[in-house]
Structure 1
Amino acid sequence: MTSSLRDPDALFELGQALQQADYQFVTTTPASHRRVNGRDGNERARDLRGVFGWSRPFSADVVPAGMLDLMRRAGVLRERDGHLCATVRASTVGERLYFHSAFPTREDDAVFFGPDTYRYVAALKRSMEAMTPPARAVDIGTGSGAGAIEVACRFPDCEAVGADINPFALSLAAVNARLAGAAHVPTLHSDLLKDLDGGFDLVLSNPPYILDPSELRYRHGGGMHGAAFSVDIVDAALERLRPGGTLLLYTGIAIVEGRDAFLETVRSKLDARCSNWRYEELDPDIFGGQLDCEGYEDVERIAAVWLHATVRG
């Protein structure tokens, strides 16, 4: 099953309507989402947060008629068991609103958004504080577009490309950029950087890093317990960054017997190509429930890490 957006302009107007209604919603982990929705009284949505945040079924009188019409025009409304459901969610990070896939994210082209996105944006903002304004940036695997949009809002003259292999993600990212007032965020199809021309002053990414038996694109990071795709991003960035350019990477790393195989793999590459780089654990233990899954029998923990590297000028 694939997702599609019928009318991007209608979704943009829906986002504006939610912003005007002072809509706010912080997206939790899937485990927390299930727990909250499983509580008595949470079977159906009673307000906009229930509809667009908690992805609960709702009756037509819960959503203003104008919003309901925009949902129909955008193609983000469906009926299930006699109730209506939104096929997108809306999350907020500060003043920005981001559309992404509704819960649960079972489709291969689902656009994921959650606690990792908040950590990614926070680390990105810290790193941009002392950064020379880039002329051209790219967010690899942009998803909702959060990374590219934050760069474009911080550096208004920068072309901040949102790159992804998922057409649905590119559609949502384009709408989200409009909602943020980010003028220079082209959303382009690309496998890593293979389909893009030229060099970059900034490469950033928050890639999938889970070892997923179903190999869903928004989750599966490949070999090395899900770190292989992150290694590929480091390689692509070091190849395409202009002199003095910067790589900013947020990812999750499986720690096995105290060892970080990702860091061991990229250390020599960074030493060879970069004037300086730093690597830190932002959170030592995330998605603990993943350790019960196939392929994680020898994993002690999954750490959220941040890599900030500058290539030689």
Structure 2
Amino acid sequence: MNPSQAAALLTLGHSLRQAGYRFMTVTPSTHRRINGRPGNERALDLRGIFGWSRPFEPGLLPPRMLALMREAGIVKEEGSLLRSGLRLSTLGNLLLYHSAYPTSEDDAVFFGPDTYRFVGTMERAFGWLGSGPTRAVEIGCGGAPAAIAIAQRYPHAEVLGTDINIKALDLATVNARLAGLDNFQACHSDLYAGLQGDFDLIVSNPPYILDEDERPYRHGGGERGAEISRRIVEEGLERLRPGGSLMLYTGVAISGPDDHFLESVRPLLEQACGTWSYEELDPDIFGGQLGEPGYEEVERIAAVWLHAVKR
């Protein structure tokens, strides 16, 4: 993304906020079902264009908004109709850019119900942080919803958002500017590999699905999709300052009574942490995934939350 495209996205975001735009992003299956209802074939308002990713007549938008979309390079032509290449979603008082529906590209930037659960649980845990971190990072940030929430809550902190996806980092930078923040920085890094120094706060909502196409925003690697989550804990504890917090929201494939992910990280947590907690936020998410290869023995996918405080 070049500077003029980023500036156009920023101005467009401000224009949508001034117009009262709000949109809560749903699961892909719900999105597909709602868009399939009669009358929803085309967008009729701003939410249809920038939330539901529906095609629209060029005359539906004010000329200035359409010009900004073209300048930002996010207009896709479909015959006589147009479609936005990005969505904007509401998170508290924030508007955040992310990929349009459906998210099928390798460099798609994810945002959805997991994001709301992740950031909401993180914000409820801020009470543990006292005056807050001086240096924080969101690993695998995508559009950086958590990093931006941290930077907004703790303006004295240096906050980083890291990802291997350049498109995600471009959108994260625009999202932070749209929020009016100057204490956020987007960094290209494969987990911690490109980072220097240590942190008071590490947060992450990594990919955890077994994806046949191994799309980076979705595929969690081996260990039934838990490999990246385990690495974030293992490598993160080495980067965490004494008294610092690691907060992880992830999904765990569970077969029978045992939680394989928890048992894999328990020795690390007991060795390095003075206190830690682990809970299931939702016992059954992405049920449709259980019919996919690699899940033959899996009974459910649970959304879990880990908060570890280093000794």
* TM bucket normalised to smaller: over 0.9
Distance of 2:298 and 2:214 partners within structure 1? 19
Cα displacement string for residues 120-173 of structure 1 (whole angstroms, at most 9, x for unaligned residues):
110011011231310000100000110100110111101110011100000000
Structure 2 equivalent of residue 208 of structure 1:
207
Unaligned runs of 5+ in 1: none
Structure 1 equivalent of residue 74 of structure 2:
76
Q: Secondary structure at the match of 1:233?
A: helix
Check whether the contact 1:230–1:251 (CA below 8 A) recurs between aligned residues: yes
Q: Secondary structure at the match of 1:11?
A: helix
Give 1:4 shift. Answer: 8.4
Matched, 1:264 2:255: no
Give 1:258 shift. Answer: 2.2
TM-score, structure 2 length as denominator? 0.98
Give 1:6 shift. Answer: 6.3
Distance of 2:84 and 2:212 partners within structure 1? 28
Q: Secondary structure at the match of 2:262?
A: helix
Cα displacement string for residues 202-229 of structure 1 (whole angstroms, at most 9, x for unaligned residues):
1100000000010000000001111110
Q: How does 1:139-288 map to 2 (within 5 A)?
A: 139-288=138-287
What is the aligned residue count?
A: 310
Q: How does 1:50-129 map to 2 (within 5 A)?
A: 50-129=48-127
Check whether the contact 1:5–1:76 (CA below 8 A) recurs between aligned residues: no
TM-score, structure 1 length as denominator? 0.97
User: Which residue identity does 2:228 align to in structure 1?
Assistant: F
Structure 1 equivalent of residue 34 of structure 2:
36
Check whether the contact 1:134–1:202 (CA below 8 A) recurs between aligned residues: yes
Give 1:95 shift. Answer: 1.2
Distance of 1:200 and 1:301 partners within structure 2? 34
Match of 2:18 among 20, 23, 41: 20
User: Which residue identity does 1:164 align to in structure 2?
Assistant: D
Distance of 1:54 and 1:273 partners within structure 2? 45
User: Which residue identity does 2:243 align to in structure 1?
Assistant: G
Q: Secondary structure at the match of 1:7?
A: helix
Cα displacement string for residues 27-77 of structure 1 (whole angstroms, at most 9, x for unaligned residues):
000000000000101000000000000000001111111110110011111
Structure 1 equivalent of residue 136 of structure 2:
137
Give 1:180 shift. Answer: 1.2
Check whether the contact 1:208–1:221 (CA below 8 A) recurs between aligned residues: yes
Cα displacement string for residues 239-285 of structure 1 (whole angstroms, at most 9, x for unaligned residues):
11111111000000011112211001000000000000000111111
Q: 1:4 to 1:142 in 2, by over 3 A?
A: farther
Distance of 1:128 and 1:297 partners within structure 2? 38
Give 1:82 shift. Answer: 2.6
Give 1:181 shift. Answer: 1.7
Distance of 1:296 and 1:5 partners within structure 2? 44
RMSD value over aligned CA atoms?
1.2
